[in-house]
Amino acid sequence: MKMNQFVIIGLGRFGASIGQELIELGYEVLGVDRDEEKVQEMSRILTHTVVADATDEDTLRSIGARNFDCGVVAIGDDVQASILAAILLKELGVKKVVAKAVSELHGRVLERMDVDRVIYPERDMGIRVAHQLVSPNLLDYIELSDKYTIAELGVPACLAGKSIEETNPRGRYGCSIVALNKPKGMIVAPTATDTLAEGDVMVVIGTNEQIEAFQDAIGQ
Ligand code: ATP
């Protein structure tokens, strides 16, 4: 199902950033915050904004929250308000509810309430940054499961000029280069003769161990 209309509850740094990006991507966004100043700030950017307390059922009903495809609860410090707002959005029939959690316990409660996706921005960003700090070539990664990862690795000087066949990560470490991002564009499913240049980005898929072994071998 394609999401078109979004309601964001809480226009702090997290909610405001999601709202702004959705607008840039061409979607309609209603922003709700009980703080008039926050609403004022975002009123120039978002499609609609409302000053309201999202823990009040009648208020959420009157702003037509149920008509939205997706609701984002971006309240942090006030855990109780976050939980109430998430319950109300679910009960009103918002198709997909996403909520930010500030602690494991907060997250567990949201998950128990069948919130469709719980996000831990600080924890997850901290983990990402730690991975990037210890692996200088690692630009970004997606965990596919406990075992498998897709990682973006910068091509270091030691691989410059080598073909994928010569580099041979599949033969040596078991992980595969599924795409190669070059300044001219992305090569999807590169062939054995495609050549790496310093600064290109390799998109590599494999188990965590295989990718780590490849990273260790090319680490500066
Ligand atoms: P961020 O890190 O995104 O800046 P935060 O984690 O510090 O935010 P808060 O500042 O607690 O989270 O909340 C974000 C926004 O949610 C604030 O602008 C606050 O006014 C708003 N907010 C909190 N409770 C409610 C509520 N019951 N109804 C509407 N808005 C609320």
Q: pLDDT tens digits for 149-208? A: 999 999 999 999 999 999 999 999 999 999 999 999 999 999 999 999 999 999 999 999
Q: Examine the fold and report which residue of 64, 96, 119 is the final residue of a domain before the chain moves on.
A: 119
Q: Same domain for 9 and 113?
A: yes
Q: Are residues 115 and 58 in the same domain?
A: yes
**Domain identity same for 10 and 104:** yes
Domain shared by 17 and 63, yes or no: yes
Residue 26 alpha carbon to ligand 1 centre in Å: 24
- Residue whose CA is at the smallest distance from ligand 1 atom 6: 76
**Residue 93 belongs to domain spanning:** 5-119
Claim to verify: residue 111 and residue 186 sit in the same structural domain: no
* Res 88: pLDDT: 96
Q: Is the pLDDT of residue 220 over 60?
A: no
Please give the backbone phi and psi of residue 80, each rounded to the nearest 5 degrees, phi first.
Answer: -60, -45
Question: Mind listing the pLDDT tens digit for each residue in 82-92?
Answer: 999 999 999 99
Going from the Cα of 60 to the center of ligand 1, the distance in angstroms, rounded, reads: 16
Helix (H) or strand (E) holding 96: strand 96-100
Could you say which of 63, 86, 119 is where a domain stops?
A: 119
Whichever domain contains 156, its CATH number is 3.30.70.1450
CATH code (residue 56): 3.40.50.720
Q: In this predicted structure, what is the pLDDT of residue 48? A: 97
27 and 114: one domain?
Answer: yes
Q: What is the pLDDT of residue 137?
A: 85
**Probe residue for ligand 1, chosen from 20, 30, 34, 36 as the CB with the greatest number of ligand atoms within 8 Å:** 34
Q: Judge if 67 and 105 occupy the same domain.
A: yes
Q: Which of 103, 119, 135 represents a domain boundary (last residue)?
A: 119
Query: Residue 124 pLDDT more than 80?
Result: yes
3-state secondary structure (DSSP) of residue 101: coil
- 108 and 12 share one domain: yes
* Percent of the chain predicted with pLDDT > 70: 99
Give the gyration radius of the chain's Cα atoms.
Answer: 22
DSSP category for residue 78 = -
Is residue 113 located within the same domain as residue 191? Answer: no
Q: What is the mean pLDDT of the chain?
A: 94
Whether 112 and 129 map to the same domain: the answer is no
Res 1 pLDDT > 70: no
Shared domain for 12 and 114, answered yes or no, is: yes
The reported pTM is 0.81
Given ligand 1 and candidates 30, 39, 75, 88, which is best to mutate, with the most ligand atoms within 8 Å of its CB? 75
pLDDT at 102 > cutoff 90: yes
Residues 107 and 140 in one domain: no
Q: Tell me the per-residue pLDDT of 30-89, one tens digit each, with 9 for 90 and over.
A: 999 999 999 999 999 999 999 999 999 999 999 998 899 999 999 999 999 999 999 999
Domain count, the chain: 2
Cα 132 to ligand 1 centre (Å): 30
CB 187 within 8 A of CB 179: yes
Q: Hey, CA dihedral for 5, 8, 11, 13, is it positive or negative?
A: negative
Using the mean position of ligand 1's atoms as its centre, give its distance from the Cα of residue 217 in Å: 45
Query: Measured from the CA of 100, which atom of ligand 1 is nearest?
Result: 6
Q: Note whether 131 and 138 are within 8 A (CB).
A: yes
Residues with CB under 6 A from ligand 1: 9-15, 32-35, 38, 53-55, 74-78, 81
| Mutational test site, ligand 1, from 20, 57, 78, 80, max ligand atoms within 8 Å of CB | 78
pLDDT-derived band at 219, boundaries 50, 70, 90: confident
d(CA 129, ligand 1 centre) in Å: 25
Cα of 120 from ligand 1 centre, angstroms: 15
The closest of 186, 198, 33 to 178, measured between CA atoms, is 186
